[in-house]
Structure 1
Amino acid sequence: MANIFVKGQKFAQTALALLRKQVKAPGLFTYKFGIADFKGAEGDVVNIKRPAVLVAREKPWRGDDAIVVDRLANSKIQVTLNRHIYSAVALSPEEETLDEIDYVRDVQAPQVAAILDFFENILVGALRAAAFVFGVTYNVASSNEKEKDPRKVAIQARKLAQKAHWPLGGRYWLVGANVSAEIASYEKLLDVDTSGVPEALREGVVGRLAGFTIIELDALGDDESYFVHETAIASANVAPAVPNGVAKGGGVAAGNGLAVTQLWDYDSTYMKDRSIVHAFAGATAVLDPEQNPDGSIVRDENDAVVLKFQRAIKVTFGAGGSEKASYTVTITGTPTGGTFTLTIDGQTTDAIAYNASNADIAKEINELTGVSGASVSGGTFPGNAKTVTFNERVATFTATGSFTGGTSPSIAVA
């Protein structure tokens, strides 16, 4: 399809910025990796070794108790360069000869902006696809003050952030258009000194609550919302090398610390000049070792460190359908043996003994991807009901029993 350049009409270029959405996410997240990191990397993957995490212990005064010898919990962040973004435009001889075309204004600038838009969607996509372990609800129609008041929602998120040991700086509440509109009408919203906010984000600042700078992102859905730390997503960006076969080409600073490569050549088959802007990109959620209440590191049955996404908190905006954070599990029929499994948002635990303790049940639940810090309370199974409480709202929670003895034993979740 031919390009559309209207001859004979003059346009005010200063208005173009109003027609483009603001690209903000690349300027938000601070873990960025480039060509120096990926050259020679096997599988185009960079492994960033994180410092070991240890917990100090106390020996009884004048006691002879044996000490606990901890092992170093080594883990790493993996960032993969696996997306090739491009924008290609061809110009016919007629367009170049007869139409009023400025290469930078009409070709290069829109191509670079398109690449930036795409890169922002990659970053937001990595956040959206992450397996969250923390969640809060913001529902202005709720009768619960903790859900309807945005400041109290932010305070709940702050509590979870403290639990996950977020640094005090670099905390953001990212919001879509509908969430932004609700927060903006809150009378106690605090003003923000944007001097410390990345420049690309300043126009989207809504305000500040409970230590979070609230920023509206165009790449988010209208009802989408997350509390994040600036290190929650690691991004990768490499400007491809210029091929020897092109007429000319070179790197272009795309803004927000990103780089792209622009190529120019001539397609003699169709007698058209071509402009191609492209970049290599990637993004991943940054996972951290899960810790027990005493600070020690959680390991799975294979003795590997359990990693969970704890640097962001998902916000359920509105009622959230049937999702909730607390469920009751009941076994009936007084079985004398057997096992059961629990399925949470499509993931199923290993078999759990019919008379398992609260700690054992919680351990199996917390080994599931996207679950961390879930607690179990209640009397001894199978004679008593158990309450399972999560850090975020869970959409589906079911149980399947394989019991022996008793009278038609079964297990139910409510």
Structure 2
Amino acid sequence: MLEQELLVPSLFQRHGIDQFKGADNDTISMRVEGILPFHDYAWRNDRSTPIQFDEYAERKIAVSFGGNSYSAVKLTDEQNHFDITEWSRLLRPQVRAVGRGLQRRAVKTLTSQQYNVTIGKAAQNLRGALIEARRVLNAFHAPDESRYLLVGSDFESALLADDKLNLASNVGDSIADSVLRTATIGERYGFRIVVDQTIPSDSAYAFASSGFIFLSGAPAVPQSVPYGATTSFEGLALRWIRDYDSLYLQDRSVVNVYNGFRSVTDVLVGWDEKNEKEIISSGEHFVRGIRLTLDGRSDYPEAASELAKITGVSDAKVWTPSGMKAETDPANS
């Protein structure tokens, strides 16, 4: 039932709970392989110059559990006998409530992220905006697999009305029968386009699934409760416990899940044309996702920034409805 309720969390990379057991402050460090540049040694040189050595270091990404989403309900004897005769009728709304809580936390993680690129005025050339989003993610070397374009309701309407895109709502039987299938409106330019009603209606977010992490795990069932169960499906887990409060003659039902969300930053590798050598960024950047808006201005990295130097995505290539324009082009002023 939880799988049917989740949309945005289902687009994120998933991790379970076992690796967090015993971790200090409920936080683990995920090791990320280091990056080294290559060098060239002159062919048949006189060996007067030594080769160049680099320092190697792996990065660590801190990932923490930071949430315990739950739904708790009391059910009196009268309700149990005359109103709700099957526990499944109570369990379903509880699971849905927990699912909405996870959805809201995922949306907050997605929408509050500091994006390095915003593509504005997409409504004037939607096809061009999607192609530009692909170009930017490619320049950022974002993973090609599992790329999504998550769109708000107004953005969806604009896409469906655009003859150049010709999106179809029927995406085929290969997609799992879940909320993701219902929300998918098509695939274009390497993106699976999905609509969500809880993000800003005039916005869209193009990102690789690996750009965000969704952690979930079911708490252990206490030995003191008369009934308890946990279940897990494709990385999602829930706990359900029931007991009876004899002082007030009522059942108690609690459904909960541990969870956490975070984004993933990267060290970038670029090419210095002038000196013909690789350059590696000194800092980490979020480059696995960008934002699009139907209106508003485009926002790209400053031309002098480290990110712009390495990727070539800068104010010199700001998106306009007619395409990319040079900074000195009057049409872009």
Q: In which range does the TM-score fall when normalised by the shorter chain?
A: 0.7 to 0.9
Report the identity percentage.
Answer: 27
Q: Equivalences for 1:67-106 in 2 at 5 Å?
A: 67-104=51-88, 106=89
Q: Which residue of the other structure, out of 29, 33, 41, is the alignment partner of 1:51? A: 33
Q: Label 1:109 to 1:100 Cα distance change in 2 as closer, same or farther (>3 A).
A: closer
DSSP-derived class of the 1:86 partner? strand
Q: Label 1:90 to 1:69 Cα distance change in 2 as closer, same or farther (>3 A).
A: same
Counterpart for residue 329 of structure 2: none
Q: Which residue of the other structure, out of 109, 112, 130, is the alignment partner of 1:126? A: 109
Q: Which residue of the other structure, out of 2, 15, 22, is the alignment partner of 1:40? A: 22
Q: Equivalences for 1:8-407 in 2 at 5 Å?
A: 23-29=6-12, 31-63=13-45, 64=47, 65-104=49-88, 106-140=89-123, 148-189=124-165, 190-191=167-168, 193-194=171-172, 197=175, 199-200=177-178, 201-253=180-232, 257-294=235-272, 295-299=278-282, 306-320=283-297, 324-325=299-300, 362=304, 365-366=305-306, 372-373=307-308, 389=315
Could you say what the CA RMSD is over the residues aligned between the two structures, in angstroms? 2.8
Distance 1:84 1:271 in 2: 27
Distance 1:216 1:233 in 2: 18
More helix by share: 2
Q: Label 1:324 to 1:251 Cα distance change in 2 as closer, same or farther (>3 A).
A: closer
Q: Label 1:118 to 1:194 Cα distance change in 2 as closer, same or farther (>3 A).
A: farther
Could you report, residue by residue, the CA deviation over 1:279-298 in whole angstroms, capped at 9, with x for unpaired residues?
A: 11001001111334444322
Higher mean alpha-carbon deviation, 168-177 vs 131-140, is at: 131-140
Q: Label 1:26 to 1:153 Cα distance change in 2 as closer, same or farther (>3 A).
A: same
Q: Label 1:208 to 1:92 Cα distance change in 2 as closer, same or farther (>3 A).
A: same
Per-residue deviation at 1:75? 0.9
Higher relative contact order (CA 8 A, sep 6+): 2
DSSP-derived class of the 1:308 partner? coil
TM-score normalised to structure 2 length: 0.82
Distance 2:71 2:118 in 1: 37
Per-residue deviation at 1:307? 1.3
Gaps of 5+ in 1: 1-16, 141-147, 300-305, 328-357, 367-371, 376-387, 394-413
Distance 2:176 2:59 in 1: 30
Distance 1:215 1:389 in 2: 29
Distance 2:301 2:15 in 1: 40
Higher mean alpha-carbon deviation, 229-238 vs 51-60, is at: 51-60
Question: Is the CA contact (8 Å cut-off) linking 2:216 and 2:235 kept in structure 1?
Answer: no
Q: Label 1:112 to 1:46 Cα distance change in 2 as closer, same or farther (>3 A).
A: same
Per-residue deviation at 1:252? 3.4
DSSP-derived class of the 2:55 partner? coil
Distance 1:59 1:102 in 2: 76
Q: Label 1:197 to 1:313 Cα distance change in 2 as closer, same or farther (>3 A).
A: farther
Gaps of 5+ in 2: 273-277, 320-332
Q: Label 1:25 to 1:390 Cα distance change in 2 as closer, same or farther (>3 A).
A: farther
DSSP-derived class of the 1:203 partner? helix
Q: Label 1:197 to 1:285 Cα distance change in 2 as closer, same or farther (>3 A).
A: farther
The AA in structure 2 aligned to 1:177 is: S
Could you report, residue by residue, the CA deviation over 1:92-124 in whole angstroms, capped at 9, with x for unpaired residues?
A: 1211122243211x2111111111121122222
Could you report, residue by residue, the CA deviation over 1:41-66 in whole angstroms, capped at 9, with x for unpaired residues?
A: 22111221112222222233334554
